[in-house]
Each structure stands twice: as structure tokens, then as C-alpha cells.
Structure 1
Amino acid sequence: MRADLEGVAGVKDRFKGPIIERRGQVHDGSTTDQRLLDSRGATDWVHTDPWRVMRIQAEFVEGFGALAELGPAIAVFGSARTAVDNPFYALAEEVGAKLARAGFAVITGGGPGAMEAANKGASEAGGASIGLGIELPFEAGLNAWVDKGINFRYFFARKTMFVKYSQGFVVLPGGVGTLDELFEALTLVQTQKVTSFPIVLLGSAYWSGLIDWLRDTVLAQGKISQDDVEMLQVTDDVDEAVAIMVAARENRWPTPAPERPE
């Protein structure tokens, strides 16, 4: 106890690990071990913030452990609502297959639609098909083409895995979730939190309105720079998208991973 508090009525130190409590912040006389080993009492503790921290830590540990040896990988994003007979489903499947043949693992959000198609293409091409799922009220787990999957409770833990283990993003038409992932990637590149990180938008008809708005409104008003707009590369050609990812990999690693046979 500090010397200037010695003898002050009611001042008593109580330590709970790294936490110190005094005066009105001293709540009870039990110890952490006692509460752990005493099985009696309510179960509200599983819903408290300190326990959530442990769950969050566990998600990072599981994610890092599962993906640490994955090798070069590309994240493919797109709408979960893309129907099997939609042309973009076939395009996503082609993307997954060609990325796998170029020696990349393919990481998606693990859901249906465009994500399922990219996983299917990668898996059938003999590549690593990875799904990073998220607990949602309207999606039922990972798609059947995910060969290694992790389900997350927390978006921020899941997003960390995408960014840490992907060397680029290929983005197909999608909604709010796809746009969230796209602009997060764009922000990380802009702020130099990640390096050698190409972002390719597949489907010029779908994305042209967004590019026009960024250029004609956001850039015109000085909210971003020309370099920010140029970070987004738009194409309708899957081979071009894969070539951009391969070129970025060669810049990052002098000896690229071998291509898979057709």
C-alpha cells in the first residue's frame, strides 16, 4: 500500500491477478480459484465480458493454428445469394479452379453461392479449399466443398484470418458483406497495413458504377487520391485476375509455388 494511504480508514488493497481493488470497488472476499473450483451457483459467468475475451483468444489460436502452414492463398468473395444457374456461379468456380492450378489455396467465407462455387472449383482442381464461416442467424454452416473450415463467433477474428493468410482478394458481385470485405481490404492497403496485396473486381458491368462514383464523387471532392482508385483492378477475364495474383506472389516470394497440372 502507498505510504500516503497508510492508516486511512477504509483503504484496503485487494488483488485479483493483475487487478487491484480499493474502497467501494472491493466486492467480495472470494478468490478466483475458489470461484473456479466451486461448482455451485449461477452460470451467468459464461456470458460475461471476461469470458468472452477467452473465447476471442481461442478463436485466434484456432485460426492461427489451422492456417499457419497454408502457403500462398487468395481470398475469393462474392454473394451468398448467387444461384447455381447464375453466370457468376460458373465464374467463381472457374476462379477457384485456376487459382488452385496456379498454386494458391483458396479462402472463402465458407457459405453458399459464389463462395461455394469458388470452394468447389479449388477442391475439384486438387487445391486447398478453405472456408472461414461466421455464426449468422440465416446461414447453415460451411458448404460441402470446404476441405478445411473454421467457424467463428466474431467477425473481427474472422477478418484477421482473411487478411493474415491471403495475399490478395478476388471480389465477385455481392452485397453488404462483400462490400464490407472489399473496403476493409482497400483501407488496409491504403494505410499500408498490408503489402503486395492486389484487389481484383470481377464483373465490369457490376462494378463500373462503384468505380465511377469513387472517381467522379469521392475523388473529385478530395476524399481519396487517384492511387486509391487505382488499387481496384476491374476485369471480366479470369485468366487476367489470376495473372495479377501470380505477379504479386512473384514480387513477394522470389521462388513462386509450382503450378498444378491441368
Structure 2
Amino acid sequence: MDDLRTSEAWRVFRIQAELIDGIETLNDLGPAVSIFGGARFKEDAPYYEAARATAGLLTRMNLAVITGGGPGIMEAASRGCFEAGGTSVGLNITLPREQHPNHYQNRSITFRYFFIRKLMFVRFAMAYVIFPGGFGTMDELFESLTLVQTKKIRRFPIVLFGTSYWQGLIDWLRTEMIPHQAIAPGDLDLFHLVDTPEEVTTIIGDYLTRCSQFEGDQRKGVA
């Protein structure tokens, strides 16, 4: 029992250390967008190139790009940002397979715990762009929707890339979850569905403009 207590106590210290390291590493990051997507997409996949192009456009808007730091879509987004001369942040995770750091990160952290890593994604991003992916990608999508829906975080752009990939899920939300009153019809307005990198940047650019106008009104005392 004493060994168990000691182990659990040290786990708390490891969690605390990861949290502090993440905050200190990213505290001066500035405006950033988190880009998610599957690790299994190869370099010749259309979604890989789309993620690379999207990250490049966002970088040219003076935004940093945060990814999971691994292969596939994560590598594509890191690469697009890196090649455009931006700040490419990789929030890596220790996993038994699939996850290995890509070579396009100029700011990198490796996490042991998923929940600390997920906190960093949402804490330092002003938008999410979600490309096709697996369970991990779905986890990030639905966590972000839950946090916005329950007003635990500010409402920000959640952009799903790839109509053909996401449409079946969206149809299921509309035909099953809404009729069962599991979600409200308006909850489908919490995300955007796009097919081009330019659409992504338009949505995020509009959001940045609204934020700037709101901050200006606040300074002027406008309600």
C-alpha cells in the first residue's frame, strides 16, 4: 500500500510538471490555430497537401500553427507552417505506436498525459481546423464542441475540412441526435464545413476581424 501511495503521489508531481512546462513553453506564443487530423495519411494523399497548404496560408496571416507533432496530417500542417517561416508547435505524445515527432517543428513539447496535451491545444488556440482522422481526431472534435456548447470556453471557429469525409457524421447528428433531443438544432451551428484552404482562412480571418472590433469597442467603452 505504501508503494502505491508513493507511486500515485509521484504521478501528481509528473502531471504538475507537464502542466507547468506546457504553459511556460507556449506562454509567449501569440495567436495560434490548432490543426488536427489522422496520423495514417501519406504524403501523396490529397488531405495531406490540403493541410500543408492551409497551414501555409494561416502562417501568412501571422498565426502560429499547433499540431500533435506526429506524422500524417499533423506533419503536413507542421510542414506548411515551417516552410512558410512561421512558428510550428508540436505537442507530441508518448505512444506505443504511430506517434513519432515530425521534422517540421521549431517549438516542441512531449507529453505523457493526454489530458494535459489537450488542455494546451485549447488553451493556446483561437481556432480549430479538423481534417479527417481517427478516434483521436474525433476526440478533439467532440471535446471542443462540448466545451463551446457548455460555455466552458469562448466560442471560436471549429472548422471541419472535407465534406465527403464528414457529411455522414453530420447527417447522423441531424437525423438521430436532434430527434432524440440529445443536442439542440442550433448546436450544428457550432462548426463550419469546408473543402478548400481558402475557405478556412476566410472563416478565421472574419473571426479575427470581429475580435479586433470587439476589443476596440471595449477600449472605447461601447456596450
TM-score, normalization: structure 1?
0.78
What's the CA shift for 1:46?
Answer: 10
What's the CA shift for 1:146?
Answer: 1.1
2:145 — aligned with what? 186
1:88 — aligned with what? 47
User: After superposition, where does 1:31-50 map in structure 2 within 5 Å?
Assistant: 48-50=7-9
Q: 1:134 aligns with which of 93, 98, 104?
A: 93
Name the CA distance, whole Å, in 2 between partners of 1:121 and 1:68.
23
2:204 — aligned with what? 245
Q: Check whether the contact 2:71–2:99 (CA below 8 A) recurs between aligned residues.
A: no
1:118 — aligned with what? 77
Name the CA distance, whole Å, in 1 between partners of 2:80 and 2:95.
25
What's the CA shift for 1:232?
Answer: 1.7
Give the CA RMSD over aligned residues: 1.8
Name the CA distance, whole Å, in 1 between partners of 2:54 and 2:135.
21
AA aligned opposite 2:145? L
Percent of aligned pairs with the same residue?
Answer: 47
Is the counterpart of residue 197 in structure 1 residue 167 in structure 2?
Answer: no
Q: Check whether the contact 1:89–1:114 (CA below 8 A) recurs between aligned residues.
A: yes
Inter-CA distance 240–49: structure 2 relative to 1 (3 Å threshold): same
Name the CA distance, whole Å, in 2 between partners of 1:230 and 1:136.
34
Secondary structure at 1:48 match in 2:
helix
What's the CA shift for 1:252?
Answer: 2.5
What's the CA shift for 1:47?
Answer: 6.6
Name the CA distance, whole Å, in 2 between partners of 1:205 and 1:46.
50
Structure number with larger C-alpha Rg = 1
Which segments of structure 1 move beyond 3 Å, counting only runs of 4 or more?
44-47, 253-256
Secondary structure at 2:33 match in 1:
strand
Question: Matched residue pairs, number?
Answer: 214
What's the CA shift for 1:130?
Answer: 0.5
Q: Which runs of 5+ in 1 are unaligned?
A: 1-26, 28-43, 257-262
Name the CA distance, whole Å, in 2 between partners of 1:253 and 1:131.
27
1:144 — aligned with what? 103
Name the CA distance, whole Å, in 2 between partners of 1:243 and 1:110.
25
Which of the two has greater helix per residue? 2
TM-score, normalization: structure 2?
0.91
Secondary structure at 2:119 match in 1:
helix
